Amino acid sequence: MAPILELRDVEAGYGPFRALFGVSLTVEPGEAVALIGANGAGKTTLARVASGLLAPSSGTVLVDGTGMAEAAAWRFVRTGVVHAPEGRSVFATLSVEDNLALSFQRAFGRAGLAGALRRAYELFPRLGQRRTQIAGTLSGGEQRMLSLARVLVESPRLLIADELSLGLAPLVVDQVFATLGRIREAGTALLIVEQQVGHALELCDRAAVLEHGLITWQGPAESAGAALESRLFTTGAAH
Amino acid sequence: MSGAAGFFEDLFRGLLQGTPPGAVYALIALGFVLTYKTSGVFNLAFGAQAYISAAMYFKTHTLWGWPKWAALVVSAFVLAPLIGLVLERLIFRHLRTASAVSKLVVAIGLSVALPELFNQAARFTAVAGRQISGIMPDGAGVFYDPFGVYRFNRDELAMMAVALIATLLLAALFRFTMIGLAMRAVVESPRMTGLSGINADRVSAVAWALSSTFAGLAGVLIAPRFNSLISTEFFMLVVIAVAAAAVGKLVSLPRALLGGLGLGWFIAVFNTFLPRWSGDHTWLRPFQENLTPSLPFVVLFAVLVLWRAIGREREASDPLSGVDPPPPALAALERHPKLTLFTRLFGVGFIAVVGSVVWFRAGVLWMHLVTTAVIMSVIYLSVTVITGMAGQISLCQGTFAAIGGFTIFQMADRFNLSVLAAALLGAGVAAAVGAVLSLPVLRLGGVWLAIATLAFAFFFDAVMVKFSWVGGGTTALLTGTRVPRPLVGPVDFASDRAFLVLAVVVLVIVSIVVIQLREGTVGRTLTALRGSEVAAASIGISAARARIVAFAMSAAIAGLGGALLSMHQQNVNYSTNFGPVNALFWLVIVVALGARTVEGAIQAGAAFALFEPLILKGDLLAWILRGEDHLPGLFPMSGSWRLVLFGLMAIQFARHPEGLVEHGKRRASARINQWLEAER
Ligand SMILES: Nc1ncnc2c1ncn2[C@@H]1O[C@H](COP(=O)(O)OP(=O)(O)OP(=O)(O)O)[C@@H](O)[C@H]1O
Ligand SMILES: [Mg+2]
């Protein structure tokens, strides 16, 4: 079976600035991959390319073995590749419920909308209490919950999650990872960018280390810890 | 007749009378809100779109004799959405992340360019002095009088019905369907919408097609209320309707409907009662005569300034704007000394050549055109100060210039003051008016500031000019607003050559002042503010003082320029020189050619006066090809092409705020610079 996501020699950047220098990475159906790297290594850029937000300047992105000619995020979503971007990614002028409805309507249809909303509010009861509030006025953590609720309820085929736990209280982080584990069991593949490396490696099968826009190590998640330590120390000494 | 019964009957009649014009405002306000909600554009070109459909309807139905339904379908349901789709595809799709102010400038450019483009393409000329027919059979001839106090004709009823039905349908669209929600989402962040699995491009295309159809429909429906078909009337209506739209903070459709109707009712009731009161109190009479035509603008200005909610809302920024690369830096201002020297020498040489050609060879006409170019450059420097330096869009520069012109007319022609002293006084008066005006409007900022200044310009146009102590009143009607040329000692500036020298001297002085202002504290403060007001405030820079200074300076420069222009033409010629819609073109031409530099203003001045004869009429080419004696009319292209050209160039403002020519020049000089550096 073709991998659900495949990057082949992807180079990408912003205007004249290049952030990725020929990255190749695959995610098999049902697999969970952790993407690890220092600040500014290019993790977010890779996630953006993988979800069609950013067009690669060279190389190809394949979903289910077919190349995505134009980078159009909505096409990726329709094939089941969903991206929860870094930071406060909500529509600040829409209400909590409208934010959710926008995604759920497409994913579940008009009939499934109410059920999906209910599941979202079960997952994050705080959102349920604030369903009519304008999303821009939610607290930072609540906004994170909102953007997570959007992707977690849906159980897509591949979830690309960029810094999920940033700005959430430890208890909520645990709960988010529990939910991730659950949708994983249900068959969702994961590509996870996370600063809390321990949490991520626990959940994932495989890890990839990104340094200065290049993947420098790939391997099973269990051995990632040791590899990472040695790399960190050696590169740390080199600098 | 008992007083109370009469009062209520009058009130009722006033309300009924106000309903049809109220419905006009409502229709436009609805369309305006619709566009703003679904595309995030403060679309002043809405009037232009409405005009095009109205003109198309007139052309197909009245001139070509098509049946009404066919004309309606073609003009409102085919042409209008098509224009919307083209605008979306070519322009607004690429500006989704641009600031509201730059989108406003784009819309202003379009509102200048589109009507002329249509007129030229369809060989349509403005129609005046005839009844424009509406969409109902015998629409203006069949009346209904449900209450026995006011008679509605069929066209009016159709218009009111459409306004009501449209409000209900659109409100339902936004409430009950996802497409409305998706449109609002796209306005905020097309990328986030994409991540929700929605094709943002398709949604915004639908949004533009929808709102443009509405513009077209509104245009066809309201045209019968005029007995002319002129694009500026439509522009003015849109400006008024902004007041109605503002009541609903630009997002509520039902409130826009109520705002529009309310405006119509208020004006009609006011007009019913004011004459009655002023019958008893004669001192009210001058107000009655002057206030009624301007009431919409007074209301607009009052709504903008007094309605606290306006101007408070923050622009929602795209949470995924981090995906965009940083905007390209303005091409380097640091230059190689050789290049600077070369450009300076070239500039001096160019001016010397042009100057001597003009001085020795130009006839009366060309002397006149060059003088106009120099004076317009002075006026355009006022735009450089307010728009280029302070980053604010002021649409009342024509008014400030007119204040300069009228002051000199009043002082010199009527009170025999020295003309040059009167010109300085005019600049001072303009500065004072500018400073006072800036106090209430500066709070607004951005788009609202532009609208408030436009309201002020229309108010001046409708009311102030009529006062005899401003525009000269009835004497001016008989004798014109005469302005003498100055006479200083032995030099009589009545000679055109001497006057040209005077204009050049003023231009040089004003240029130096503008450069000093830019390099000084005020200029630096303004630059910091343009970066980020919040950040500037947090390091203790106060916005207010610098902005007021900029506004007053800009007004003074415009006033001085206006005074010069009036001396030059020996008449104020208010409506051809300084009318609000004419002055709109000033902004367009300056931002098209370069709003940030003195050079840009001079280029714009030259383009304003000389583009038409030199390029459009082909005189430059004719001079080269045929020699001096056979100049006129190589290509008889219409002068309105310059509106089209500069209007379309102004669209680039969103991407190159320094102006298109300036942008090109900077790029070229950066390249030469690189080359020179490499040589070293
Ligand atoms: N919009 C942009 N324009 C220009 N450069 C950018 C842009 N976004 C990111 N970069 C640069 O690209 C590089 C990679 O950034 P990226 O956001 O992918 O890093 P990251 O690995 O996600 O870092 P972090 O762990 O801090 O989130 C960085 O050097 C960053 O400065
Ligand atoms: Mg990141």
What is the nearest CA distance from B30 to chain A, expressed in angstroms?
A: 20
Is the separation of the CB atoms in B461 and B584 below 8 Å? no
Neighbours of A119 (CB within 10 A): 15
Distance of CA B492 to the CA centre of its chain: 37
Of residues B288 and B80, more confidently modeled: B80
In whole angstroms, what is the distance from residue B573 CA to residue B459 CA?
A: 18
| Ligand closest to the CA atom of residue A36 | 1
Residue at which a domain ends, from B236, B255, B274: B274
Q: Looking at the structure, do residues B358 and B261 belong to the same domain, yes or no? A: no
Partners of residue A105 in chain B, C-beta under 8 Å:
178
Report pLDDT for B216.
92
CB of B363 within 6 A of ligand 1: the answer is no
Decide if B243 is inside a domain.
yes
Shared domain check, B576 and B473: yes
User: Does B196 contact A101 at a Cβ distance shorter than 8 Å?
Assistant: no
Q: What is the mean pLDDT of residues B287-302?
A: 77
Q: Is a pLDDT exceeding 70 seen at residue B635?
A: no
Q: Where are the alpha helices (DSSP H) in B100-230?
A: 100-121, 154-176, 178-188, 190-195, 200-222
Q: Is A41 in the pocket of ligand 1 (CB under 6 A)?
A: yes
The answer to which of B19-28, B88-97, B340-349, B649-658 has the lowest mean pLDDT is B649-658
Under the banding of pLDDT at 50, 70 and 90, the label for residue B53 is very high
pLDDT digits (tens, 9 = 90+) for B414-444: 777 888 888 899 999 999 999 999 888 877 7
pLDDT class of B532 with cuts at 50, 70, 90: low
A28-37, B375-384, B443-452 — which one is most confidently predicted on average?
A: B375-384
Q: Are residues A22 and A141 in contact, defined by beta-carbon separation less than 8 angstroms?
A: no
Instruction: Quick: pLDDT tens for B458-487.
Output: 888 887 887 777 777 666 666 677 777 777
Mind giving me the DSSP string for chain A?
---SEEEEEEEEEETTEEEEEEEEEEE-TT-EEEEEE-TTSSHHHHHHHHTTSS--SEEEEEETTEE--S--HHHHHHTTEEEE-SS--S-TTSBHHHHHHHHHHHHHHHHHHHHHHHHHHHH-HHHHHTTTSBGGGS-HHHHHHHHHHHHHTT--SEEEEESTTTT--HHHHHHHHHHHHHHHHTT-EEEEE-S-HHHHHHH-SEEEEEETTEEEEEEEHHHHHHHHHHHHHHHHHH-
A21 Cα: distance to centroid of ligand 1 (angstroms): 13
Of A13, A15, A103, the CB nearest to B196: A103
State the residue range of the domain holding B369. 341-679
Q: How large is the average pLDDT for residues B224-239?
A: 86
Q: Contact B140/B78 with Cβ under 8 angstroms?
A: no
The shortest CB-CB distance from B316 to any of A77, A78, A92 is to A92
Percent of chain A with pLDDT over 90: 23
Q: Is A35 in the pocket of ligand 1 (CB under 6 A)?
A: no
Of B181, B200, B326, the CB nearest to A98: B181
Q: Taking a contact as any Cβ pair under 8 Å apart, which residues of chain A between 31 and 70 contact chain B?
A: 48, 51-54
Instruction: Identify the helix (H) or strand (E) that includes residue B128.
Output: strand B127-128
Report pLDDT for B625. Answer: 64
Q: Which stretch of B37-41, B202-206, B435-439, B615-619 has the lowest confidence by average pLDDT? A: B615-619
Cα(A40) to centroid(ligand 1), Å: 5
**Would you state the pLDDT for residue B321?**
77
Please indicate whether residue B327, judged by its CB atom, sits closer than 6 Å to ligand 1: no
Going B323 to A88 to B103 to B167, the CA torsion angle's sign is positive
B313 pLDDT above the threshold of 80: no
Query: Does the pLDDT at position B618 exceed 70?
Result: no
Interface touch A74/B191, C-beta < 8 Å: no
> Does residue B324 sit within a domain?
no
Each residue of A109-119: pLDDT tens digit? 888 889 999 99
Judged by a CB distance cut-off of 8 A, whether residue A106 touches chain B is: yes
Domain boundary among B247, B274, B301: B274
B322 CB less than 6 Å from ligand 1? yes
A205 CA to centre of own chain: 16
In the predicted model, what is the mean pLDDT of residues A32-59?
A: 90
- Decide which of A102 and B288 is more confident: A102
Looking at per-residue pLDDT, the higher value among B172 and B308 belongs to B172
Same domain, B253 and B351: no
Helices (H), B281-386: 285-306, 337-361, 364-383
Test mutation, B195, B250, B317, B323, chain A, max A CBs within 10 A = B195
Highest mean pLDDT among A166-170, B246-250, B669-673: A166-170
In this structure, the answer to whether residues B260 and B350 fall within a common structural domain is no
Q: Which chain B positions have a beta carbon within 8 Å of A91's beta carbon?
A: 184-185, 188-189, 192
Percent of chain B residues past pLDDT 70, beyond the cut: 88
Are B246 and B307 in contact, with CB atoms under 8 Å apart?
A: yes
When comparing pLDDT for B615 and A162, which is higher?
Answer: A162
User: Which class for A191: exposed (0-12), middle (13-18), buried (19 or more C-beta within 10 A)?
Assistant: buried
Shortest alpha-carbon distance between residue A27 and chain B (Å):
20
Close Cβ partners of B34 (under 8 Å, ≥ 6 residues apart): B170, B210, B211, B214, B253
Tell me, what's the pLDDT at A66?
Answer: 83
My answer on whether B119 and B268 are in the same domain is yes
Give the distance (Å) from ligand 2 centre to CA of residue A173. Answer: 18
Does A5-230 carry CATH code 3.40.50.300? Answer: yes
Per-residue confidence (pLDDT) for residue B154, from 0 to 100: 86
User: How many CB atoms neighbour CB A132 within 10 A?
Assistant: 9
Assign B4 a pLDDT band (cuts: 50, 70, 90).
Answer: low
Task: Kindly state whether A72 is in contact with chain B, defined as any CB-CB distance less than 8 angstroms.
Answer: yes
Phi, psi of B352 (to 5 degrees): -60, -45
> Which range has the worst mean pLDDT, A74-83, B363-372, B423-432, B558-567?
B363-372
Which has more pLDDT, B472 or A214?
Answer: A214
Query: What is the count of structural domains for chain B?
Result: 2
pLDDT in tens, B643-661: 888 888 878 777 777 777 7
Residue B324: which pLDDT band, with cuts at 50, 70 and 90? confident
- Distance in angstroms between the alpha carbons of the first and the last residue of chain B: 97
Residue A239 — pLDDT band, cuts 50, 70, 90?
very low
Distance A207 CA to ligand 2 centre (A): 16
Domain boundary at B274, B302, B319, which? B274
pLDDT of residue A100: 92
| Average pLDDT score over chain A | 85
């101007």: which residue's tokens?
B311
For the ranges A117-121, B40-44, B295-299, B617-621, the lowest mean pLDDT is seen at B617-621
Tokens of B550: 């900029």
**Tens digit of pLDDT for each residue in A153-211?**
887 899 999 888 888 888 888 888 888 888 888 889 999 998 777 878 888 889 898 88
Q: Do B191 and A53 touch (CB under 8 A)?
A: yes
The pTM assigned to this predicted structure is 0.86
CATH number of the domain within which B526 lies: 1.10.3470
Same domain membership, residue B348 and residue B269: no
Beta-carbon separation of B192 and A82 below 8 A: no
Distance B509 CA to ligand 1 centre (A): 49
Distance A86 CA to ligand 2 centre (A): 6
- B268 and B351 housed in the same domain: no
- Domain contains B348: yes
Task: State mean pLDDT over B9-30.
Answer: 87
Q: Is A36 in the pocket of ligand 1 (CB under 6 A)?
A: no
Please answer whether residues B318 and B97 qualify as being in contact, where contact means their C-beta atoms are separated by less than 8 angstroms.
yes
For residues B188 and B97, state if they share a domain: yes
Which atom, in ligand 1's list, is nearest to the CA of A195? 25
B143 lies in some domain:
no
Q: Is the pLDDT confidence value at B584 over 80? A: yes
Q: Where are the alpha helices (DSSP H) in B520-579?
A: 521-531, 533-538, 543-569, 574-577
- Examine residue B201 and state whether it is found in any structural domain, yes or no: yes
Contacts of B319 in chain A (CB under 8 A): 85, 87-90, 92
| Residue partners of B373: CB distance under 8 A and separation at least 6 | B605, B606, B608, B609, B610
> B192 vs A91: CB contact, 8 Å cut-off?
yes
Residue nearest to atom 24 of ligand 1 (CA): A39
Instruction: Report the C-alpha dihedral over residues A88, A94, A97, A99, rounded to 10 degrees.
Output: -50
% of chain A surpassing 70 pLDDT: 94
Span B380-404, pLDDT tens digits = 999 999 988 888 889 999 999 999 9
